[in-house]
Amino acid sequence: MTVGAAGRRSFSWSRWPEGEAMVKTVLVPLDGSPAAESVLPYVEMVASRTGATVHLLTVVREEEEASQVGETFAYLEKKAEELRARSLSCSTEATAGDEAHVILAEAEKKGADLIAMSAHGRSGLMRWVLGSVAAKVVHGTSRPLLLVRAREPEERPLAHIDRIVVPLDGSELSLSVLPYVEEMAAALGASLVLYNAVPPLDVYPGAELTPARVGGVIDDLLGQGRSFLAQVAGEIEARGKVKARSVVTIGFPVDEIVRVAQEVSAGLIAMATHGRSGVNRWVMGSVADGVVRRSSLPCLLVRPEQASQEQA
């Protein structure tokens, strides 16, 4: 994930409107399982810092008996009361239909500024993979999405975010994550770690790139990445809301993002779901998928407006 041109470049991204709340409504799909509730401590943290209303949603099967539907409503109300007891505004809804379709429709209906859910479903998948419902939501929504690894209650770490790792590949699309992430970091009192990976270059017998030339290319790419991130970090810190620093390493993007996030004790990885550098063709969609599947940390995925329009 490197910039595609040598030297200092001018980068820009939109700013979050001054005085406008970043998150006003958080949609939280739950399926009744303890593992799906793994997202709730993070929802509580975000809502308490932003003043957002939490909307708990569950999807019932049309063939379920009335008694089962009643139990579902009772379950949602219990969870809502737990949040209200912590001075949070909370509403509930149980709707019949296809789970992913209902989640996406409710997000639009409620104007959700954030969808927060565990990567877990009724299928019982307990390893950190995207289940079918979560995968459909990831690829179907244009709204920011917070994915939290599903864990049993006794296995959950405390919801605490001091540092947010933000992978950037030098593209304008990757930078589009910054307005949302800056405001999130400011609300949570977290700092940003801007990250850029230089994938290793292979040298094949007979190839024009000799080991010496490869070393020179790598050095150039490292320099470009450091210059790019230093410029972005400087612009962020100049606004005085959030501290930011940069890290550039050599390695495969997914591996390095996961490793660096662990190394800096990050509490969250935030990235655009689409973006591409001019040199390494590091496609953010595939990298984001890889990071979500492999990292144990919560992941905040933000789809750039341009990518959303292209998909539409």
Angle 226-227-228 (CA atoms, 0-180°, nearest 5)? 90
User: Which of 64, 68, 67, 40 has its CA nearest to residue 54?
Assistant: 40
Asked if residue 180 and residue 150 are part of one domain, the reply reads no
Q: Is 147 a residue whose pLDDT tops 70?
A: yes
- Do 229 and 166 meet the contact criterion of CB atoms below 8 Å apart? no
- Do 40 and 12 meet the contact criterion of CB atoms below 8 Å apart? no
Domain enclosing residue 58, as ranges: 25-155
Confirm whether 77 is domain-assigned.
yes
Confirm whether 97 is domain-assigned.
yes
User: Which of 83, 82, 58, 80 has its CA nearest to residue 68?
Assistant: 58
Which domain-ending residue is among 155, 180, 215? 155
Asked if residue 302 and residue 177 are part of one domain, the reply reads yes
Confirm whether 273 is domain-assigned.
yes
Partners of residue 291 on adjacent β-strands:
none
Asked if residue 214 and residue 76 are part of one domain, the reply reads no
- Do 229 and 221 meet the contact criterion of CB atoms below 8 Å apart? no
Confirm whether 7 is domain-assigned.
no
The total of other beta-carbon atoms located within 10 Å of residue 32's CB is 14
**CATH for 249:** 3.40.50.620
- Tens digit of pLDDT for each residue in 260-304? 999 999 999 999 886 444 434 344 467 888 898 889 899 999 987
Which domain-ending residue is among 155, 179, 208? 155
Confirm whether 16 is domain-assigned.
no
* Whole-number Cα distances in Å, 47 to 103, 147, 207, 219: 19, 16, 55, 44
- Do 36 and 120 meet the contact criterion of CB atoms below 8 Å apart? yes
Distance CA 225, CA 237 (A): 18
pTM: 0.84
- Tens digit of pLDDT for each residue in 66-111? 667 788 889 999 999 999 999 999 999 998 888 899 999 999 999 9
- Tens digit of pLDDT for each residue in 192-237? 999 999 888 764 455 565 566 667 778 888 999 999 999 999 999 9
Asked if residue 167 and residue 141 are part of one domain, the reply reads no
pLDDT band of residue 123 (cuts 50, 70, 90) is very low
Tell me what pLDDT residue 3 has.
42
Tell me what pLDDT residue 158 has.
74
Asked if residue 174 and residue 280 are part of one domain, the reply reads yes
Confirm whether 12 is domain-assigned.
no
Distance CA 72, CA 29 (A): 13
Q: What percent of the chain has pLDDT over 90?
A: 48
Overall domain count for the chain? 2
User: Which of 231, 236, 227, 225 has its CA nearest to residue 260?
Assistant: 225
